[in-house]
Amino acid sequence: MIPKEFSEEDAKKFRELVEFQNDFYLRNLQKLTDHQFASNPDLAKQAQLAMGKGTSDKMNRAKNTLEGWAKEDARYALSLATQAQLGLSFNARTLEHAIRTMRYSELVECRELAQKLFEVTKEIAPSLIILSDPTEFKKAFKTDLQDDHFKFTNSHLKKYVKELIEKYYGKQHEGIPEILTEEHEKLILESNVDRNIAAAIIHHNSKLSIEDAYRITCYILADTERGKNFFSEILKYISAFDPLPREFEFTGELKYELVVSASNFAQLKRHRLMTILTQDYDPSLGITVPTSIKAINAENDLLDICRRSEELYFEFVPKYGKAAEYCLTNAHRRRVLVSANPRELYHFSRLREDEHAQWDIKETAGRMMKLAKEAAPNSFILSGGKDQFEKMRKEV
């Protein structure tokens, strides 16, 4: 995707960068595929047996898994401008909100998408999305659409926060930083998770007041073994594929600050029931290098790609603002705030700590759940990937 913000001269520089990034993908994909087959002999054997039986490549799950892992790792070198296809569904209210939000995006691409969505919908459901277009709204209601929130809130908040930082903390250092190697997670805890869940369970399944439910809860949890037994009993019939009881939402949410790669975030953002707030991509946070790329001795090539990407990014930022991010790669990082209740965290853990999960988000999920278990050891006694569930259940 060549951003329309770029001048003709800068678009040429950008194309050269993308060709450089894509060359890494094409040169190393087969090496990464061979590495995955060598590193996962059981899956490789399954793939070979399936091929021997005449199974088509499309239906060879083991082969597709190994090749998919190789492609995922090769993509760490690709730019955030790489195109993809997307199928989606909207209800009218959500579509209207998406159009109004994207209409005032900093990116031309998003603004054009908003208009395309509006054009293909207005003939089918004109009355349902009339708030999406100021001109159509004025025709219908003879008054201006109050769109200031969508127009100004985001840009105003960025400007206001920047002024506060400069006033109280001084300007942030700018420039191309050294590469960092470790991601991190922080858990920001608001309340006693175990106590809140236990009280909700007692309250929901009795006629006690919430005060009395908390009194019983405090007695139960005062003894470590008694508390563990309580949670073992309430999770007695849960399987690896079941949601947790709704009482696990009654906690106040666990809040995390994450530092994740673009590849990692592509997985994380699918968890829509979590509250996920993102900063812009920030080269000062370094990059994430897959171990497979290190194993095939391509790490220095990836670092070279990322440095070159950052150089063009910093050249473009003063001219194009957020559109400069198109230069960065899937290895580059951003800070993310995540808020989720234990019920949703269990779902997240089941999917993202499972053996089939993409390695980057799997590592993040593991560290997040380690923090959750330290904060609420009883509530999370059965959290973990689906593949480990029966083992965990027996231990409990």
Q: What pLDDT, in 10s, does the model give residues 288-332?
A: 999 999 999 999 999 999 999 999 999 999 999 999 999 999 999
Q: What pLDDT, in 10s, does the model give residues 151-199?
A: 888 788 777 777 766 776 554 444 444 444 455 676 655 568 898 888 8
Q: Locate the DSSP E strands across the chain.
A: 185-188, 254-261, 275-278, 333-340
CA pair distance 342, 200, nearest whole angstrom: 13
pTM of the entire predicted model:
0.83
Of 137, 168, 199, the residue that ends a domain is 168
Q: Quick check: is 84 in a domain?
A: no
Which region holds residue 146: left if phi is over 0, alpha if psi is between -120 and 50, else beta? beta
Of 77, 106, 124, the residue that ends a domain is 77
Q: What is the DSSP letter of 254?
A: E
Q: What pLDDT, in 10s, does the model give residues 206-240?
A: 887 888 888 888 888 999 998 998 998 888 888 88
Q: Does residue 62 surpass a pLDDT of 80?
A: yes
Phi, psi torsion values for 38, nearest 5 degrees: -70, -30
Q: Quick check: is 313 in a domain?
A: yes
DSSP letter for each residue of 142-208: SS----HHHHHHHHHHHHHHHHHHHHHT-PPP-SPPPPP----EEEE--S-HHHHHHHHHHHHTSS-
Q: How many domains does the chain have?
A: 4
Residues 150 and 220 in one domain: no
Q: Are 360 and 289 in contact (CB under 8 A)?
A: no
| Closest of 357, 287, 336 to residue 185, by C-alpha | 336
How many C-beta atoms lie closer than 10 Å to residue 373's C-beta? 16
> Which pair of structure tokens corresponds to residue 354?
């499972």
Residues 270 and 390 in one domain: yes
Residue 143 belongs to what domain range? 98-168
Residues 390 and 260 in one domain: yes
**Residue 336: beta bridge partners?**
258, 278
Q: Quick check: is 164 in a domain?
A: yes
